[in-house]
Structure 1
């Protein structure tokens, strides 16, 4: 789907450089210095319009959050939320997640969120899926040894693919929900897509996984 350009979006992203980091390579290994407080670092890859990460940051002021989104017309909506909220524990990056290791040092991140990622259903687009093995290799590098990957989707095909991908990588499943909204989980924060799809009656899938450390 082609995204509609928003007039003035590029200029707005440049204007609010205190929220949208223009030179993320500069902060590799030093992200905790970018925030007011030295706290655990969580990132969301493909944050969309930012509802999830903003709500997480408000509910967990003891954690620093970085939202990653490539599309200009989408990240500017997240920026609008941050301009209004002025949350000290949120930073935004307009970068390609394929280059994650260019922006984060080994073990620098404590948690990664993948929320309603593009399923890229065609086989020829497999390498674009955020749970493809190359992405998992990158996550393993930047995550702390106790770090977790939180993955949530309404797409059954992508969920099944991801579970296989996790297994092939040797990851361990800590939590697994085949119908999240009808489970006993508490404190679930919905994304824009999650609310939209759940209202249509779509089942929401979620898993929490981690990379086992060598003994």
Structure 2
């Protein structure tokens, strides 16, 4: 497919088969972006609408969208390339392997946007806000770094909020069960993922949670 062929040559796509894929951990600033700006990562970025939107808005930060689907990443990669947005890149990998690509303290902010809720109790460990994943994110995020979580799923939101509130190593900074009726909505500059727009248009309330790991 043309999309996969373009991913092979697009410098803003980091994936298996490229030398940079094996060497990027700890070197995103000097190797990929060639600057010292803060690194912001979006998990399950899909077509990259949010990653690219943030990149447009904040040229003094670097943004990395993470997803395993090459056809989705191609879209965001192509838009960024066409618009000359050089502070955006995409990493094609499974999220459970994230710690293979980011060194300790390399991430300034982390976005978890509309992940699969995995509602069955037996699938808890697959949720991107489960203890397993939180423990993986913690060392990669620099001291004071913010984690943002958005979802339309009430069950996942309540699970995530209860979990982070129960952890002594996490400070909850803000949360709302109706983001677009909250005072925080302007902070996101109207940037929406494909799924967020879909859910919002159907009248679904968007839930939002912001927290950080405490400095030990």
When the two structures are superposed, what TM-score results if normalisation uses the length of structure 1?
A: 0.91
What is the CA distance between 1:45 and its match in structure 2? 0.6
1:165 aligns with 2:163: yes
RMSD over aligned Cα atoms: 1.3
Match of 1:4 in 2: none
Match of 1:184 in 2: 183
Identify which range, 62-71 or 22-31, moves more after superposition: 22-31
| Paired residue secondary structure (2:147) | strand
Match of 2:99 in 1: 101
Identify which range, 81-90 or 154-163, moves more after superposition: 81-90
Match of 2:6 in 1: 12
What is the CA distance between 1:100 and its match in structure 2? 1.4
CA contact (8 A) 2:77 2:89 kept: no
CA contact (8 A) 2:63 2:88 kept: yes
| Paired residue secondary structure (2:132) | helix
What is the CA distance between 1:83 and its match in structure 2? 2.6
User: Aligned residues, how many?
Assistant: 207
Alpha-carbon distance in 1 for matches of 2:77, 2:27: 22
Match of 1:201 in 2: 203
Show the 5 A alignment for 1:56-71: 56-71=54-69
Identify which range, 71-80 or 130-139, moves more after superposition: 71-80
Gaps of 5+ in 2: none
Gaps of 5+ in 1: 1-6
When the two structures are superposed, what TM-score results if normalisation uses the length of structure 2?
A: 0.91
2:28 alignment partner, one of 21, 28, 31: 31
| Paired residue secondary structure (1:187) | helix
| Paired residue secondary structure (2:209) | strand
Match of 1:213 in 2: 215
Alpha-carbon distance in 2 for matches of 1:180, 1:61: 25
Match of 1:115 in 2: 113
CA-to-aligned-CA distance 1:77-126 (integer Å, 9 cap, x gap): 22222232221101110011111111111111100001111111122222
CA contact (8 A) 1:72 1:94 kept: yes
Alpha-carbon distance in 2 for matches of 1:136, 1:168: 13
Alpha-carbon distance in 2 for matches of 1:24, 1:162: 31
